[in-house]
Amino acid sequence: MYPVPSFPAPKGSIIDSHAHFNDKKFDSFRDELLLKMHDLGVSKIINCGCDFETIDECVALSNNYDFCYTSVGFHPENVPDSEIDFERFRNIIKNNKKIVAIGETGLDYYWRDDNKSAQKAAFHTQLEISKEFDLPVIIHDRDAHGDTLEILKEHKPKGVVHCFSGSLEMAKEVINLGMYIGIGGVLTFKNSIKLKEVAREIPLTKILLETDAPYMAPEPFRGKINHSALIIYVAEKLAEIKNLSVQEVLEATSKNTEILFKF
């Protein structure tokens, strides 16, 4: 089962800029949980597809739930050894009005570093497609900060580096490109010293809140199933770090998300 926050957020105040409600971990209670979202304060959720199969699942969710939107991408972990059918990919975007972003796309040298050139090629193509459709990008960067930043500087896309794990210096470079920093449950973890420094030093106008549900549940639910309503705990931590109210944090970050994804 899933944890429920002991104090729900005010109605409509939470937007989850990055989730995977299509994940199998939700299979036995997905609808039950999604139907509760409104009462728990959540007004919009972006589910991110990572390959053709999960893209279809996310599109189906956005067809069934008016508050669900879709981002479509090939996650670096899902980049196949064979070529990706990007014409099929473009057709999916053309035929779905609730697709608001490209991603997640990017580089992940933690899981695999023997196919760096294939990961980079797929990343470049998706950044080009984001320009073709005038859509922002949702970037995944794990253990690949240097190469990710280099490619972002080349393309200068609109978008967000999700689950940001870089240094303050990198965060400033990302912001200088006009992009946003995605922050989730990690902010509440005791050992997340670097991310807390980033959160403290960068302006609130450049931060988006996210879950990466079902993963990355914030404290006090670390290790459990994550979902959008638990963003209240990330907002609380960010409010504490920035010396603001939770309400101010939720209002500002939700507004940032609506500006970027134009929904």
The site for Ni ion (CB under 5 A) is made up of: 212
238 Cβ contact partners less than 8 Å away, ≥ 6 residues apart? 183, 187, 199, 207, 209, 244, 249, 253
**Cβ distance to Ni ion smaller for residue 149 or 213:** 213
Closest approach of Ni ion to the CB of residue 183, in Å: 13
Nearer to Ni ion, 138 or 174 (CB): 138
Of 47 and 256, which CB lies nearer to Ni ion in the complex structure?
47
Cβ of 28: how many Cβ atoms within 10 Å?
Answer: 9
- CB atoms under 10 Å from CB of 108, counted, come to 20
> CB of residue 18 vs Ni ion: minimum separation in angstroms?
6
Q: Which is nearer to Ni ion, 89 or 246 (CB)?
A: 89
* 241-246 contacts, C-beta under 8 A, 24 or more apart: 241/187, 241/196, 241/199, 241/200, 242/199, 242/200, 242/204, 244/204, 246/9
Q: What is the biggest distance separating any 2 CA atoms in the chain, rounded to whole angstroms?
A: 50
Nearer to Ni ion, 16 or 212 (CB): 212
Output the residue with the shortest Cβ distance to Ni ion: 212
Residue 15 beta carbon to Ni ion: minimum distance, rounded to whole angstroms:
16
- Min dist. Cβ of residue 20 to Ni ion (A): 6
What's the min distance (Å) between Cβ of 69 and Ni ion?
Answer: 14
Cα torsion angle, 85, 88, 93, 96, sign: negative
